[in-house]
Amino acid sequence: MSTHTVTIYGIPNCDTVKKARAWLAEHGVPHAFHDFKKLGVPPDRLQQWLQAAGPERVLNRQGTTWRRLDEAAQARAADPAGLAALLAEQPSLIKRPVVEWGDAITVGFSPQAWSERLATRSAA
């Protein structure tokens, strides 16, 4: 099994992040937690997430934070540099959790996909 540390990025009071952290613990996956509220969004990581997962996957347009933005702020999301700045300023706009598995990045929580990922890691 790969010895890469799993890092989960999110906000501790987010229900999806809570479920994801519980799932990792239940499956014995050692992981580190990066709290956006306390530690901010690492700019180099944000660029990797946007490249790996794509802007539409990383940006959460369904949440209240997005809906509260004015049109000018929402329009910034159309430009890659503007989107990165917007996500850094408003971490709640990032779909959660973002998980770095060592060899891959996932956005959001999917028990089925995560189980498949663990099976693949175990076989490696």
Question: What is the pTM for the complete model shown?
Answer: 0.90
Catalytic residue among 6, 8, 10, 14: 14
pLDDT for the residue 5: 84
Domain boundaries, the chain: 6-118
Q: Could you name the CATH architecture of 6-118?
A: 3-Layer(aba) Sandwich (3.40)
Banded model confidence at residue 81, pLDDT cuts 50, 70, 90: very high
CA atoms 12, 106, 103, 40: torsion sign: negative
14 assigned to active site: yes
Q: Which long-range contacts (CB under 8 A, 24 or more apart) does 44-48 make?
A: 45/9, 45/100, 46/84, 46/87, 46/88, 47/84, 48/105
CA dist 42 and 77 (Å) reads: 18
Examine the pLDDT at 2 and tell me if it is beyond 50: no
Residue in 65, 89, 57 with CA at minimum distance from that of residue 14: 65
- pLDDT, tens digit, for every residue of 15-68? 999 999 999 999 999 999 999 999 999 999 999 999 999 999 999 999 999 999
Which of 36, 26, 86, 27 is closest to 61 using CA atoms?
86
CB atoms within 10 A of CB 7: 17
